[in-house]
């Protein structure tokens, strides 16, 4: 066989091998961390229906893509979709412990009662802490990613030392306001209570705190304002 033919064969083999061993999920139509969710099955990319979709599913997708957490899930009408694609997955019900979306319980591949208006999208993140509800990115209600879900932090025992750990974790150097209730209250889980940071912790998750259950309500959700000054 000629050298040119061998080279062409090697390229084709490499492409086929990499596709078979490579990425099985991707996000399209958005940025590198968000977009319409697509999965690779039967040699083609296709979409995922939003039936029974939950936070555990989003967590598995983002983890498979190399992220630490998810920001949100959204319908496909917020991102580009293609009606020519197959819908591969329906009724996905991950527990959160799976290493890939393919491992999650679901209908057989391609068996679905959905239309593309039900395609699901996901936004992933490398963050396990965020500020929500402020007028700028340096302020807001504190939320932490814990046990595969975002939740709030109670203000019991909260002080400037705790707030400084949060601000430094987010890339700021100082605290303007350590305890503010001027931001909208949260919903869902209250993950942290009686936080008592020493001040040298790298993340809020490293700080001593009470184990759940807590004795707080969302009216006690803590918010802060950070500064780079």
pLDDT digits (tens, 9 = 90+) for 107-135: 999 999 999 989 999 999 999 999 999 99
Give yes or no for residue 18 having a pLDDT over 50.
Answer: no
Which tops the pLDDT comparison, 189 or 83? 189
Give yes or no for residue 30 having a pLDDT over 80.
Answer: yes
Judged by average pLDDT, the poorest of 6-20, 45-59, 79-93, 196-210 is 6-20
Confidence of residue 224 (pLDDT cuts 50, 70, 90): very high
- For the chain, give every residue range classified as CATH 3.10.250.10: 3-125, 129-227
Q: Is the domain covering 3-125 a CATH 3.40.50.300 domain?
A: no
Residues 6+ apart with CB under 8 A from 110: 41, 42, 86, 87, 88
Helices (H), 26-154: 55-64
Average pLDDT rounded to a whole number, residues 168-177 = 96
Structural class in CATH, domain 129-227: alpha beta
Q: Tell me the DSSP string of 51-76.
A: TT--HHHHHHHHHHTT-SEEEEEEEG
| Strand bridging mode 34-41 / 25-28 | antiparallel
pLDDT of residue 81: 62
Report cis status (omega within 30 of 0) of the bond before 18.
Answer: no
Give yes or no for residue 7 having a pLDDT over 80.
Answer: no
| Strand bridging mode 120-125 / 139-146 | unpaired
On average, the pLDDT of the chain sits at 88
């Amino acid at each position: 066989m000629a050298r040119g033919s061998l080279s062409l064969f090697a390229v084709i083999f490499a492409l086929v091998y990499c596709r078979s061993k490579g990425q099985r999920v991707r996000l399209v139509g958005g940025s590198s961390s968000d977009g319409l969710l697509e999965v690779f099955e039967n040699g083609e990319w296709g979409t995922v229906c939003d039936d029974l979709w939950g936070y555990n599913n989003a967590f598995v997708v983002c983890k498979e893509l190399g992220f630490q957490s998810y920001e949100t899930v959204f319908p496909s009408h917020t991102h580009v979709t293609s009606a020519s694609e197959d819908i591969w997955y329906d009724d996905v019900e991950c527990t959160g412990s799976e290493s890939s979306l393919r491992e999650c319980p679901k209908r057989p591949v391609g068996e679905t009662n959905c239309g593309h208006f039900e395609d699901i999208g996901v936004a992933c993140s490398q963050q396990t802490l965020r500020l929500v509800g402020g007028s700028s990115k340096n302020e807001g209600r504190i939320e932490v990613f814990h046990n595969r879900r975002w939740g709030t932090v109670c203000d019991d025992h909260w002080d400037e030392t705790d707030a400084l750990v949060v601000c430094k974790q987010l890339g700021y150097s100082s605290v303007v306001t350590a305890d503010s209730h001027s931001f909208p209250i949260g919903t869902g889980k209250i993950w942290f209570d009686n936080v008592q940071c020493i001040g040298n912790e790298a993340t809020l998750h490293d700080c001593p705190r009470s184990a759940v259950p807590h004795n707080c309500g969302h009216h006690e959700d803590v918010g802060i304002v950070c500064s780079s000054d």
